[in-house]
Amino acid sequence: VGQRHIPGEGMCYVFKDGSTCPTIIDGEPVNPLWGTTKAGKARKRLAQACLNCREKKIKCEPGEKSCLQCEKAKRECHRFAAEWSSQSSGSIVMAEAPNQKRRRSAQAAQQDVLNLPPTWNREESPQSVKRRRSDVSADSLRDADIERQRKDSKRVDLEDMIHPPPRKLSEKLAPSSWDQDPYLYDPEATMRFVELFFAQSAREVSIMFPRGAFTRWVRQCRDKCQRECMVLYAVLALGSIFAENEFVSFAKICVDRASQAVSMIDGKFSLAIVQARLLVAGYNHLIGRDSTGWDLSGSALRIISAMRLNSEDGCGEDLDEFTRRYFSFSREQLKECRRRTFWTAFLVDRYHGFCGGLLCAIQLEDIDIRLPCNEQIYEEGLASDAPLFDCFQPGMGLQSLDPKSTPPSPAAHTMIIASLWTDVTKLIFRRPRQTADSGSYVKSHESLLGDVQAKLFDWRSSLPHHLQYSRQRLVEATQHGYAGSLIAMHALYYISQLKAARNVHHELLSPHTTVRQIRIAHTNATQLLEMVCDIRSISSHGSGKVQDPVNLLSPFFAYGITAAIDTLSAGGLREDFGRTMVLVSDSIAVLHDLAQFCASAKTQAKQTSKRMA
């Protein structure tokens, strides 16, 4: 009649009598109509012995009208109703097991509530097909041993169950489980969602996969494993937020399957689990379920720590009990995918941690992997020549870059500026706890502030020419596909300077220092909003959804816009008031655009509009 997560057992099927049965055992899906064997494994087929032979525990050889054993003993042969019995004569008595009526109703309720067909119709590998050829119909019932096992299993209160809402799907049969390939169900919608996922170039999750190689795998691979399908559903769920209304039914399926997968999967830690949880966490943050998002991203960070993905050794090859590498990637592609999965989690930790006032879980001193490599190298599956991240060196590794080597990904520079958040958060969240009436506060604060601002300035000065911000370079970045990274890194820079300058016990500072800090805050707030206006003007001349402003901005950018408007509106009138109001007006319009897809931006748009009113 439904499913429920039971502590200590994981996700389980729940039957009408309150008994339960795990949905996944050792990575194998359990058919709820068949259950498990005495050994606790997923049952692959149903027993064909009659009830008499089962009771006597003797071999049963089916015959045309009766099994040979019952025929020799001259007794009625009692069987469960099965496919072959329709051809039998009336002399065979079809026995109704005591719990058969309950199971029929459970099967009907299960199909209504869970939308699961009686059989697992997943596209299977040749080995799976060969193994299951001898299986009997799924409409048959399990043997009496399973009934005893169910009665001994843990019971739950049906009133406490969470019933999923009824789904209105298209006429085509929906995939019945999250381990089925969505591309085989709806290729057009699948590829559209994948395209929209990669179009969100400013979001931290977009750097995980090589776009071309991943897209080919979605189209061409016909033996996607269970965990690959889990990641794919998570990708589609995130992309579906930006999709057209014509795909709404398929979008609901993808969201349901992705959410189901990350809550059900357990067992050995793997790259796929980390990726799926980060992706579904991003989805939940966008729709306003921050608690669920933090829970999922937090569990992903713990798995990253357990797998040692913060080191080059931990990013080595691991087939994860599968016959090939994930997503059909090459050896070097998979290593880079592991690195980028870590860096994605790093950005999630920094972005959502800072916006929520939370402590960062990843410490810079523990990172010992390469920065994201050049996109072309990643696509071609070549070995990365990107420098190792080193927080103890100037530039954190980028300044030691060999001039003859291939330039790293623009995302590498984003990781460096995101690393400087650590110093900014110390300045904002730790300094206010220290005694403000001490004469040492001003000296220590100015020392730390000067160090933070010097690091930020050095980072900006060390950027390669094509990544130094200007309106023309934004146009070039849009044409070459790295505009999202360009915007993200400079937004981080402006917000860092702004927050570092504003968060201080200003009454203890000298008038000269106060004036300087106000000027720094206003300058960076203005530059951030000017970048917003550039994005709007360039996007208006673009074509297609890929050029929409929301594809170049992230929820963190919305946070930055709000902070910038708050800064400019806190200082009273200025000589350039007219220009400032134009910047604020355009930025609020961008917030309203983001609010269509991001719950936090909707709240921020209301707050800023109310403030400016």
pLDDT at 377 over 60: yes
Half-sphere exposure of 151 (CA within 13 A, CB side): 6
- Give the pLDDT confidence score for residue 419 in this predicted structure: 93
pTM: 0.70
| Minimum mean pLDDT range among 64-78, 134-148, 193-207 | 134-148
Q: Rounded distance, CA 439 to CA 508, Å?
A: 9
- Give the pLDDT confidence score for residue 572 in this predicted structure: 59
Q: Rounded distance, CA 257 to CA 253, Å?
A: 6
Give the CA distances from residue 319 to residues 125, 220, 439, in Å, rounded to whole numbers and listed in that order.
17, 20, 59
Residues 409, 449, single domain; the answer is no
Average per-residue pLDDT for the chain = 77
pLDDT tens digits, one per residue of 434-445: 555 556 777 777
If one counts the domains in the chain, the total is 3
Residues 246, 395, single domain; the answer is yes
Asked whether the CA dihedral 578, 581, 587, 589 is positive or negative, the reply is negative
Q: Rounded distance, CA 595 to CA 561, Å?
A: 13
- Give the pLDDT confidence score for residue 67 in this predicted structure: 84
Query: What are 539-546's contacts with CB under 8 Å, separation 24+?
Result: 542/478, 545/196, 545/199, 545/242, 546/199
* pLDDT mean over 594-610: 89
pLDDT at 309 over 70: yes
The residue range of the domain holding 18 is: 2-160
Q: 118: burial class by Cβ within 10 Å (0-12, 13-18, 19+)?
A: middle
Block residue for tokens 């496919």: 83
| Minimum mean pLDDT range among 357-366, 410-419, 524-533 | 357-366
Q: Rounded distance, CA 204 to CA 210, Å?
A: 14
Residues 190, 210, single domain; the answer is yes
pLDDT tens digits, one per residue of 230-258: 999 999 999 999 888 888 899 999 999 99
- Give the pLDDT confidence score for residue 170 in this predicted structure: 38
Asked if residues 423 and 451 have their Cβ atoms less than 8 Å apart, the reply is yes
Residues 8, 52, single domain; the answer is yes
Residue 538 lies in a domain: yes
Q: How many helices (H) and strands (E) does the chain have?
A: 24, 5
pLDDT tens digits, one per residue of 319-351: 554 557 889 999 999 999 999 999 999 999 988
Residue 167 lies in a domain: no
- Give the pLDDT confidence score for residue 569 in this predicted structure: 87
Residues 194, 153, single domain; the answer is no
Residues 362, 485, single domain; the answer is no
Residue 165 lies in a domain: no
Strand partners, 20: 14
Domain boundary among 363, 397, 419: 419
CA-closest candidate to residue 538, choices 486, 503, 498 = 486
- Give the pLDDT confidence score for residue 445 in this predicted structure: 79
Ramachandran category for residue 26: left, alpha or beta (phi over 0 → left; psi -120 to 50 → alpha) = left
pLDDT tens digits, one per residue of 2-36: 887 777 677 888 887 778 888 888 777 888 877 77
Cβ–Cβ contacts within 10 Å for residue 476, how many? Answer: 13
Q: Is 270 helix (H, G, I), strand (E, B) or coil?
A: coil
| Minimum mean pLDDT range among 95-104, 321-330, 343-352, 470-479 | 95-104
Share of the chain above pLDDT 90, in %: 35
* Farthest CA pair distance, the chain: 109
> Phi then psi for 391, rounded to 5 degrees?
-70, -10
Give the CA distances from residue 124 to residues 132, 180, 182, 221, 224, in Å, rounded to whole numbers and listed in that order.
10, 9, 13, 12, 9
Share of the chain above pLDDT 70, in %: 75
CA-closest candidate to residue 211, choices 194, 224, 228 = 194
* pLDDT mean over 425-449: 71
Q: Rounded distance, CA 473 to CA 595, Å?
A: 27
Residue 425 lies in a domain: no
Q: Rounded distance, CA 117 to CA 163, Å?
A: 18
Q: Rounded distance, CA 604 to CA 562, Å?
A: 6
- Give the pLDDT confidence score for residue 97 in this predicted structure: 37
Q: Rounded distance, CA 13 to CA 31, Å?
A: 10
Residues 377, 235, single domain; the answer is yes
- At 158, the pLDDT band (50, 70, 90 cuts) reads very low
Q: Rounded distance, CA 371 to CA 219, Å?
A: 29
Domain boundary among 384, 419, 454: 419
* pLDDT mean over 593-603: 88
CA-closest candidate to residue 422, choices 401, 391, 399 = 391
Cβ–Cβ contacts within 10 Å for residue 325, how many? Answer: 18
Residue 283 lies in a domain: yes
Residues 453, 352, single domain; the answer is no
> Phi then psi for 544, rounded to 5 degrees?
85, 165
Domain boundary among 120, 137, 160: 160
> Phi then psi for 142, rounded to 5 degrees?
-75, 165
Residue 565 lies in a domain: yes
Cα dihedral 193/256/273/364 (nearest 10): 70
- Give the pLDDT confidence score for residue 110 in this predicted structure: 39
Which residues are within 8 A (CB) of 281 and not within 5 positions of it... i.e. 6 or more apart? 292, 293, 294, 295, 296, 297, 300, 348
Residues 371, 475, single domain; the answer is no
Residue 291 lies in a domain: yes
Q: Rounded distance, CA 606 to CA 613, Å?
A: 10
- Give the pLDDT confidence score for residue 107 in this predicted structure: 42
* pLDDT mean over 52-73: 79
* pLDDT mean over 98-116: 39
Strand partners, 4: 12
Residues 488, 403, single domain; the answer is no
Residue 180 lies in a domain: yes
Residues 469, 401, single domain; the answer is no
- Give the pLDDT confidence score for residue 147 in this predicted structure: 42
- Give the pLDDT confidence score for residue 468 in this predicted structure: 94
pLDDT tens digits, one per residue of 32-42: 877 777 677 77
Strand partners, 11: 5
Residues 136, 226, single domain; the answer is no
- Give the pLDDT confidence score for residue 230 in this predicted structure: 93
Q: Rounded distance, CA 20 to CA 23, Å?
A: 9
pLDDT at 176 over 60: no
- pLDDT, greater one: 437 or 486: 486
- Give the pLDDT confidence score for residue 436 in this predicted structure: 53
- pLDDT, greater one: 558 or 161: 558
pLDDT at 399 over 70: yes
- pLDDT, greater one: 66 or 561: 561
